[in-house]
Amino acid sequence: MSHNMNIRDYKTQFLEYLEVEKQRSPKTIENYDRYLEKFLVWAKISDPKDINDDLIRNFRLYLNRFVGEKGQNLKKITQNYYIIAIRCFLKYLAKRDVKTLQAEKVEIGKTPEREVDFLENTEVERILDAAGGVNFKSLRDRAIMELLFSAGLRVSELTSINREKLNLKSGELSVRGKGNKIRVVFISDTASAALKEYLKKREDIDPALFVRDKVGLRQFESKKKENKDKSDNLRLTPRSIQRIVKYYALKAGIVKDVHPHTLRHSFATDLLMNGADIRSVQAMLGHASINTTQIYTHVTNPHLKEVHQAFHARRRKNKAF
């Protein structure tokens, strides 16, 4: 029966496999769906056996030459995402003994080294100081940014933390990262102090660690009335955290494009520049692969060279041959 299946039926089953067996996040599944859909619409094929070298090569050319509505090309890394999705799909088909192109024949293109945008320590301090008030919003926002920088959290990890999980005495916190993996992160003394001050201001019983302030609550209530927001909780969304971080970066006069992830980058860079080994940083960031963590060494290597020149080479200046 499976041999009469259309390629789209296989695609549906592949996405279900990612969800159930691979436990991928809804966002990842949504992306894979989009990449594969675009490929199938372009390819106009209905049978997996029609996927061959020529088809993949032509699709690559199509992606490389693609021009969007605003005249922009697809970034190399985005082009690669399409190819990665196709490869995973082909691997799944092979697992099911479906005749198609071997996944190994599809090579992933080389991408330029990722640029890591991070903040100097003085810039981090300026952003934190920009949230210097004593009202609910300032205390909450300061606690958010202190925790992002102290623990190197992803924004999705930060928003999903519940109050009961927070143990300020031990200075540790368990978070659920990508692939549902749990890891322990550490809360610095300054982050701990900021969290204490913020929690003193909490009057609600919502389980979420970070919740809306009065202005956010009013907007939330009006959205609920219009039935745009079906949720009943006060938890801040990743989008809200992005807006908060951007607001204080602008307020602090930082010219870089600052996101919550910039604080995560700054956390990792700070550790490596101060002598932490890459395996420890990998564990603290919750990276499944050391390759992901290695993007930070491109930032820290030039810095180490400067340190070497400043401290090591200086001692030899007076020695002439």
- Give the Cα separation of 290 and 294 in Å (integer): 6
Domain identity same for 241 and 208:
yes
Domain identity same for 99 and 36:
yes
> How many CA atoms are closer than 13 Å to the CA of 59, on its beta-carbon side?
25
Domain identity same for 191 and 294:
yes
Q: What is the pLDDT of residue 321?
A: 46
Q: What is the pLDDT of residue 256?
A: 83
Residue 154 annotated in active site: yes
- DSSP, collapsed to helix, strand or coil, labels residue 114 as coil
Domain identity same for 148 and 96:
no
111, part of any domain: no
Handedness of CA 217, 138, 266, 273 (dihedral sign): negative
Catalytic residue among 11, 87, 154, 212: 154
Residue 287 annotated in active site: yes
Provide the domain limits for residue 209: 121-306
Domain identity same for 284 and 214:
yes
126, part of any domain: yes
Total count of domains within the chain: 2
Boundary (domain end) residue, out of 105, 130, 165: 105
Catalytic residue among 35, 82, 198, 296: 296
Give yes or no for a contact between 116 and 298, defined as CB atoms under 8 angstroms apart.
yes
Catalytic residue among 176, 201, 202, 261: 261
Domain identity same for 70 and 156:
no
Give the tens place of pLDDT for each residue, 110-150: 666 556 678 888 999 999 999 988 999 999 999 999 999 99
What are the pLDDT tens digits along the chain (321 aa)? Answer: 455 689 999 999 999 999 998 878 788 899 999 999 999 999 999 999 999 999 999 999 999 999 888 888 888 888 989 999 999 999 999 999 999 999 999 988 766 655 667 888 899 999 999 998 899 999 999 999 999 999 999 999 999 999 998 989 999 999 988 878 899 999 999 999 999 999 999 999 999 999 998 766 666 566 655 555 555 578 999 999 999 999 999 999 988 889 999 999 999 999 988 888 899 999 999 998 888 888 887 766 766 667 667 776 555 555 544
38, part of any domain: yes
Catalytic residue among 11, 142, 264, 265: 264
- Give the Cα separation of 254 and 124 in Å (integer): 9
Boundary (domain end) residue, out of 53, 76, 105: 105
Q: Residue 272 is part of a domain; what is its CATH number?
A: 1.10.443.10
CA neighbor of 173 nearest in space, from 194, 197, 192, 155: 192
Domain identity same for 43 and 187:
no
Could you identify the residue written with the tokens 């860079």?
269
Give the tens place of pLDDT for each residue, 252-276: 998 888 999 999 999 999 998 888 8
Catalytic residue among 11, 87, 265, 287: 287
Catalytic residue among 137, 163, 176, 178: 178
Residue 243 annotated in active site: no
Domain identity same for 147 and 288:
yes
CA neighbor of 55 nearest in space, from 65, 44, 43: 43
Structure tokens at 18: 């990612």
Give the tens place of pLDDT for each residue, 235-251: 999 999 999 999 999 99
Q: What is the pLDDT of residue 1?
A: 41
Residue 114 annotated in active site: no
Q: Residue 85 is part of a domain; what is its CATH number?
A: 1.10.150.130
Residue 264 annotated in active site: yes
Residue 178 annotated in active site: yes
Domain identity same for 44 and 172:
no
